[in-house]
Amino acid sequence: MTLTDGTYRLGPSTGRLLIKTGRAGLGRKAGHDLTIEATRWSGEAVVAVSDPGGSSVHVSVETGSLEVREGTGGLKPLTDADRAEIKRTLGDRALLHIAEHPTITFRSTGVTGTPESFEIAGDLTIKGRTHPVTVHGKGNGGSLLRGWATVTQSTWGIKPYAAFLGALRLADEVRVEFEVVRLEPVDRPER
């Protein structure tokens, strides 16, 4: 399917949204690099192929839907108990404080490039704080779109997780990745 002008629905039925963390500190060999998936998210992309500036994207992620999918590295494999503890930690006040901030949102402010190579500038809101982010993307000219953005947690008031008196901690920068594998047009009523 070729990417054409239109409005497309985004969410778990059309692709994946992942957060990839790294480790820092003297004890980094003990920890894991994590892949965390947003399991409940939605959005919409308005595509204007010949006029990228007329394109837009907005996405909303339920913070309580973040699930640890993989943990690589470390001295021992990631266990189910580890996954449960990480999920609890994500909801803490120092991290995402999901009770007060149940969603993370991204709203584009500008789109440049082509369906094969594009950038989306936008505003990312986490924990009630909004800051600019640039998403870098690539496509095959059709329904496969991939991209990433680097997010510095402390910019949004997130204190990267630390253990063992700070000897093991998550790196402040995380990589947010997306993959759209299927285009799902939004049905608009005729006027």
Reported confidence tier of residue 25, pLDDT bands at 50, 70, 90: low
Return the CATH fold of 6-185. Lipocalin (2.40.128)
Q: CA of 47: how far to CAs of 2, 123, 125, 140, in Å?
A: 12, 18, 23, 15
Rounded to the nearest angstrom, the gap between the alpha carbon of residue 4 and the centroid of all alpha carbons in its chain is: 24
Domain spans, the chain: 6-185
Reported confidence tier of residue 190, pLDDT bands at 50, 70, 90: low
Q: What is the pLDDT of residues 35-80, one digit of tens each?
A: 899 999 999 999 999 999 999 999 999 999 999 888 777 667 777 8
Torsion angle defined by CA atoms of residues 80, 28, 153 and 174, in that order, rounded to the nearest 10 degrees = -80
Q: Give the pTM.
A: 0.86
- pLDDT over threshold 60, residue 89: yes
pLDDT at 164: 56
Query: What whole-number distance in Å separates Cα of residue 94 and Cα of residue 88?
Result: 12
- pLDDT over threshold 60, residue 81: yes
